[in-house]
Chains A and B, each alone.
Chain A
Amino acid sequence: MNETILTKTYSAPPIDEKEILRYAGGIADDNTIKLLNECINEAINCITYKVCYCELPVKTDGDLCDFGVFDVQSKNLTTNLSGCNNVIIFGATIGIGIDRLITKYSHISPAKALMLQAFGAERIEALCDAFCNDIQNTHKTPLKPRFSAGYGDLPLDTQKQIFLLLNLPKNIGLTLNDSLLMSPTKSVTAFIGMQEV
């Protein structure tokens, strides 16, 4: 068995300002929009859009999902992957630059820190969407919704297996802390089931 681990860099997906405001708990008044634009301008150039992924066969048996190279017990993931023979496992990150900015402004302007945090959340979601669209376009089979460690009964420490499999620190600079938090913080790992037609 020789699973190919691939790394891709995307260009910036379109920015959804409404979504950023929603994450920040704000409304579109003049001052908030001004703050939002300042944050976007300052952060946009330090964001990168990287994804590392691989496609694996999956067999489900009761609550057990077996990916060949590792397996995991989870009723919810099994349900999510029902009807799938293959799964994409991926890690995505928008890089450490925005973390530095958030840290910077959390010391000198919590309003900006909040807005940058919201912008980062919108960016990583947009990256994941761009990646899923890409996979959808190349694979044609219907895809299941993304499913991450920590959702439902899928243990958070599944992260350890995902990191080991994809070698995320080396491939996209994504690392896992002892408390299973990811650095850079604006990052996602997930399973995407590929349904049989």
Chain B
Amino acid sequence: MNFKEYLQNNIVYLDGGMGTLLQANGLQPGELPELWNLTHPEIITKIHTDYFNAGSNVVCTNTFGANSLKFDETQLDQIVKAAITNAKNAIINSKAPQNKFVALDIGPTGKLLKPLGDLDFEDAVSVFTKTVKLGAKYGVDLVIIETMNDSYETKAALLAVKENCDLPVIVSNAYGQDGKLMTGATPAAMVAIIEGMGADALGANCSLGPRQLRIVAEELLKNASIPVILKPNAGLPKSVDGKTVFDITPQEFADELTDIVKMGVRVCGGCCGTTPEYIKALTDKTAGIQPAPLTPKSITVVSSYSHAVKFGESPILIGERINPTGKKRFKQALLENDIDYILAEGVNQQEKGVHILDVNVGLPDIDEVAMLNSAVCELQAIIDLPLQIDTADICAMEAALRRYNGKAMINSVNGKAESMAAIFPLVKKYGGVVVALTLDENGIPSTTEKRVEIAKKILAAAAKYGIDKKDIIFDTLAMTISADTSAANATLDALHTIKTELGCHTSLGVSNVSFGLPNRDAVNSTFFAMALQNGLSAAIMNPYSADMMKTYYTYNALKGLDPNCADYIAHADEFTASAPTQAATAPSGDTQYASELQYAIIKGFKDKASEITKELIKVTEPLSIVNLEIIPALNNVGVGFENKTVYLPQLLMSAEAAKSAFEVIKSTMTLGDTKSQKPTFVIATVHGDIHDIGKNIVKLLLENYGFNVVDLGKDVPAEAIVEKVIELNAKIVGLSALMTTTVPAMQKTIELIKQKAPWCKTIVGGAVLTQEYADKIGADKYARDAMEAVRYAEEVFKK
């Protein structure tokens, strides 16, 4: 019987701890245990054999840290080969009667993935791929990915297995005392991602004992349709007379784990501190217990790196604002590669209360594959909402799904054969919930019956790819009633039928219904209410619309979805048409402030600066606002900072207020208006360094002082910086480094600039830098703080 078959009908016993036993056999702290496969094969085989004799069905090879970051190619090959041989020899040596399997063990790399760490996602996939290929080559029954404490790394490892072999794969994560992974994922979020990618079992191991992991097991069982694994430690470690001991006995371990097996866990074993004794106690205690039946949970769910969002509880809001369609300012941001603008749209929508962010960055003149990929990576680094990847470009779709840290929503597939053939394989491979539009080769049908027919066709096609209907959400296409007044009814009828007869979730791009009409919000919000009443599960909508949010909160309150009407009450005052906010006024008689706007900027009132500018721009030339209001206010603060009467946090708050005033002015100008006349300043944090606060402070001030700042980000190789300098013919480049270890990268960058772009001035800054250091590495200028950088840049361009 192969492992997959055995898993379907039996409780599977894994092995117990390896490290603990190796230490007992003399492994020193800091010594690499994987090398023992080669140096002490008899000990490794003996440990595996003891586990089989104790009743384990599966032993995990001693390859937890066997990866190409720790070992070179030859060594890695030898280690994996020997490890598998050692485990297979144990099968031969053990006389125990149960079914026996060998699992290739894959542990975490020990590195954190970008952008928070320095290991690129694709590099992580490559690292795991090497180990997986060796495992497949030397022959194992399954792969176990274990002790992963980060969702992104888990995905990289699972992808490597899925892409490089046909072996069964089971995945286990290390949850902390808060019931989450180290990087924040809940059990439900991990179920979404792991099950979505087609693993054979999933669960939890290490970190804690069975008692503390019980709550994690419950969560996993509630959400997973595949078998759940639990492989806890022997309690918690403590030191007794200089020896490490764990605080529960084999019998206690078996008692507690048996309860959890009765709850439904089907794959069990032990981790740190457990020995064959623990496994023996466990197999004895659970003997005769029938495995809990596997029940499909049919939960429609997407996830981010931190949490899962389930459909069908209360309505899901999908923010539509990250989309250039009809948005001049957004288009400009895309053309200028202004990622901060896109991120701000994400953060603002999250603050308004959306549950998912739609991400669409399609524009004729940009490289959509690269842009979508970078938007997804940057958004998921700072926002914990699941994303809906929205593109018609299939390459961009795949690249974004691959890099996405979670189970994404996919927008969209439709009833055309070509669309389904392109999208469904991606859904199958990367996991995801896909929005299916009820249209096909013949266009959008006008009748309910035809739309439902297309929906059925889509479900049938998806089933052929092994995609369950829970992962498909139908969009019955809202069309404008200004062209056909029966359009809304047709959409709602189809929606209702799909919901009730096919049992599928639904979504609508609500705003389309009002196209061409005045006061669109009124139409949209009423249509939204009607759709919700007809069973709409999710809406792609504008969360900045007070009318739409009013409908959402009111519907939930009326439907009994808002306990004590708490959300409604909390947001009720936002629904009234907002009265013009009182502008900040300078204290009367205070001549220090020449105007309200200057006062707002100098005091650092961001919202007020923006409001005042919105009023001012109705009656004043943009350029006068800049020259007579913003620049004088900035100078006031800048000089204060130089004279040490204004401190850094105040300087930055003022700079942000000025930026928000500029943003208002920018939104009234046409595309690319002033860009070409601005002096260009290239800025980057050097290779190897991931700190960018200092760099961003300098960037903010430079932008306020009228520079076109081209920000290359952090950890930027010298070659990339020089290439950009040459491409833009930039006269000045700013480099930042925080640590002594990355100053050599700064020096290398400066040398390369002097050689390839000798016209370009270099200015350096960062925590470890001093004038002396700057001179030593050949920088043209050392700036102690951001204002000094601004002054120097002004000087360079004056010449």
Residue from A31, A70, A161, A173 in contact with B653 in the complex, judged by beta carbons closer than 8 Å: A31
| A74-82, A105-113, A124-132, A139-147 - interface stretch | A105-113
Contact mask B115-146 → A, CB, 8 Å, 1/0?
11110000000000000000000000000000
Considering the complex, give the chain B residue whose CB is closest to the CB of A95.
Answer: B182
Is B242 an interface residue, CB under 8 A from the partner?
Answer: yes
Mask, A63-100, CB within 8 Å of B = 1, is 00000011000000000000000000000000111011
Pairwise interchain contact A27-B108, C-beta atoms closer than 8 A: no
B147 touches A170 (CB 8 A): yes
* Chain B stretch 667-704: residues in CB contact (< 8 A) with chain A: 688-693, 696-697, 700
CB distance from A60 to the nearest CB of B (A): 20
Tell whether, in the assembled complex, residue A177 and residue B690 are in contact, meaning their CB atoms are under 8 Å apart.
yes
Given A24-B649, A27-B647, CB of A179 within 8 Å of CB of B23: no
User: A150 contacts the other chain (Cβ, under 8 Å)?
Assistant: yes
Q: B344: which of A106, A107, A183 is its contact (CB, 8 Å)?
A: A107
Contact B696 A113 (CB under 8 A): yes
Q: What is the CB-to-nearest-CB distance from B645 to chain A, in angstroms, rounded to a whole number?
A: 10
Which residue from chain A places its CB closest to the CB of B111 in the assembled complex? Answer: A175
B422 contacts across to A, CB distance below 8 A: none
* A residues in contact with B383, CB < 8 Å: 104
| Closest beta carbon of chain B to A194's beta carbon, Å | 14
For A6, give its contact among B116, B238, B740 (CB under 8 Å). B238
Closest to B236 in A: A7
**A3 in the interface, Cβ–Cβ < 8 Å?**
yes
- Closest residue to B686 on the A side, CB-wise? A179
Which one, A104, A178, A179, contacts B347 given CB within 8 A?
A: A104
Among residues of A, the one whose C-beta sits closest to the C-beta of B606 is: A109
Structural contact, A69 and B30, CB atoms closer than 8 A = yes
Which residues of the partner chain B approach A97 to less than 8 Å between Cβ atoms?
184
A148 within 8 A of B: no
Q: Which residues of A contact B689 (CB under 8 A)?
A: 179, 181
Contact with B along A19-55 (1 / 0, CB 8 A): 0000011110101100100000000000010000010
User: Bound complex: CA of A7 vs CA of B233, how far in Å?
Assistant: 14
The listed residue (A35, A117, A156) touching B740 by CB distance below 8 A is A156
A4 touches B242 (CB 8 A): yes
B656 CB contact (under 8 Å) in A2, A111, A184? A111
A12 CB–B CB distance under 8 Å:
no
B481 within 8 A of A: no
- Contact of B742 (CB < 8 Å), options: A102, A164, A179: A179
Contacts of B183 in A (CB 8 A): 96, 173
Chain B, interface size category, equals 35 or more
B610 → chain A closest CB, angstroms: 13
Contact present for B110 and A169 (CB under 8 Å): yes
Taking the complex as formed, is B244 at the interface, i.e. its CB lies under 8 A from any CB of chain A? yes
Verify if B296 is at the interface (C-beta below 8 Å from A): no
B243 and A183 within 8 A (CB)? no
- Assembled-state Cα–Cα distance A193/B696 (Å): 39
- CB-CB < 8 A to A114: which residues of B? 648-649, 652, 693, 697
Q: How far is the CA of A103 from the CA of B346 in the complex (A)?
A: 14
Binary contact readout B733-764 vs A (1 if CB under 8 angstroms, 0 otherwise): 00000111110010000000000000000000
Question: Which residues 361-393 of B sit at the A interface, judged by CB distance below 8 A?
Answer: 378, 381-383
**Which chain A residues lie closer than 8 Å to B115 at the CB level?**
103
Do B742 and A107 touch across chains, with their CB atoms under 8 A apart?
Answer: no
Known interface pairs A100-B382, A102-B693, A110-B696; A5-B649 also in contact (CB < 8 Å): no
Closest chain-B Cβ to A68's Cβ sits at a distance in Å of: 9
A99: chain B residues within 8 A (beta carbon): 116
> Per a CB cutoff under 8 Å, which of A25, A69, A161 touches B648?
A25
Enumerate chain A residues within 8 angstroms of B381, measured Cβ to Cβ: 100, 103-104
A interface SS class: mixed
Does any Cβ of B come within 8 Å of A189's Cβ? no
CA distance A81 to B555 in the complex (A): 68
Contact B28 A1 (CB under 8 A): yes
A156 touches B243 (CB 8 A): no
Contacts of A32 in B (CB 8 A): 647, 649-650, 653
**A180 interfacial contact with B, CB 8 Å:** yes
Given contacts A100-B381, A104-B347, contact A185 B697 (CB under 8 A): no
Are B650 and A4 within 8 A (Cβ)?
A: no
Q: Provide the bound-state CA to CA distance between A100 and B604, in Å.
A: 24
A110–B785 Cα gap in the complex (Å)? 14
**In the assembled complex, B601 has its CB within 8 A of some CB on chain A:** no
Q: Please tell me if A165 contacts chain B, counting CB pairs below 8 Å.
A: yes
Interface residues on A, range: 35 or more
Q: CA A6 – CA B237 in complex, angstroms? A: 7
| Contact residues of B between 172 and 207, Cβ < 8 Å to A | 174, 176-178, 182-184, 206
- Kindly state whether residue B239 has any CB partner on chain A within 8 Å: yes
Determine whether the beta carbon of A110 is less than 8 Å from that of B656: yes
Are the CB atoms of A164 and B30 closer together than 8 Å? yes
Q: Is the CB of A100 within 8 A of B653?
A: no
Chain B CB within 8 A of A136 CB: no
Q: In this complex, what residue of A is CB-closest to B604?
A: A31
Q: Which residues of A contact B745 (CB under 8 A)?
A: 179
Report the nearest A residue to B348, measured CB to CB: A108
> Which residues 342-361 in B have Cβ within 8 Å of A in the complex?
343-344, 347
Write out the residue numbers on chain A whose beta carbons fall within 8 Å of the beta carbon of B116: 96, 99-100, 103, 183-184
Q: Is the CB of A178 within 8 A of B182?
A: no
Partner of A2, one of B177, B206, B243, B696: B243
Whether A70 and B30, one on each chain, are in contact in the complex, defined by CB atoms closer than 8 angstroms, is yes
Query: Does A108 lie within 8 Å of B117, measured CB to CB?
Result: no
| Known contacts A31-B604, A113-B693; A161 and B30 CB within 8 A of each other | yes
Is B340 part of the contact surface with A, judged by Cβ < 8 Å? yes
Q: Does A133 contact B (CB under 8 A)?
A: no
Inter-chain contact B653/A96, CB cutoff 8 Å: no
CB distance from B20 to the nearest CB of A (A): 10
Chain B residues 530 to 580 lying within 8 A of chain A, measured CB to CB, are none
**Cβ of B603 under 8 Å from chain A:** yes
Cα separation A99 to B183 with both chains bound (whole Å):
11
Cβ of B655 within 8 Å of any chain A Cβ, yes or no, is yes
Contact B648–A24 (Cβ < 8 Å): yes
Instruction: Give B233-291 interface residues, CB cut-off 8 Å to A.
Output: 237-239, 242-244
- Please give the distance in Å from A114's CB to the nearest CB on chain B: 6
The distance in angstroms between the C-alpha atoms of A104 and B288, with both chains bound, is 53
Which residues from B are CB-within-8-Å of A170?
A: 108, 110, 147, 149, 174, 206
Query: Which chain B positions have C-beta within 8 A of A27?
Result: 647
Beyond A32-B649, A169-B108, 16 additional contacts (C-beta under 8 Å) are A26-B648, A31-B653, A35-B653, A48-B176, A104-B381, A108-B343, A108-B347, A110-B652, A110-B655, A110-B693, A114-B649, A114-B652, A175-B110, A175-B111, A179-B741, A185-B690
Q: Which 5 A-B pairs have the closest CB atoms?
A: A173-B182, A104-B382, A111-B652, A179-B688, A4-B239
Would you list 25 pairs from A and B whose C-beta atoms are within 8 A, ordered by A residue? Answer: A2-B244, A4-B239, A6-B239, A25-B647, A26-B648, A26-B649, A32-B653, A48-B178, A54-B29, A69-B29, A103-B115, A103-B116, A103-B382, A107-B378, A107-B382, A108-B347, A114-B693, A163-B110, A169-B149, A170-B110, A173-B182, A175-B111, A177-B117, A179-B688, A184-B112
B-to-A contact residues, CB < 8 Å: 23, 28-30, 108, 110-112, 115-118, 147, 149, 174, 176-178, 182-184, 206, 237-239, 242-244, 339-340, 343-344, 347, 378, 381-383, 603-604, 647-650, 652-653, 655-656, 688-693, 696-697, 700, 738-742, 745
Q: A residues touching B (Cβ–Cβ < 8 Å)?
A: 1-7, 9, 24-27, 29, 31-32, 35, 48, 54, 69-70, 95-97, 99-100, 102-104, 106-111, 113-115, 117, 150, 156, 161, 163-165, 169-170, 173, 175-181, 183-185
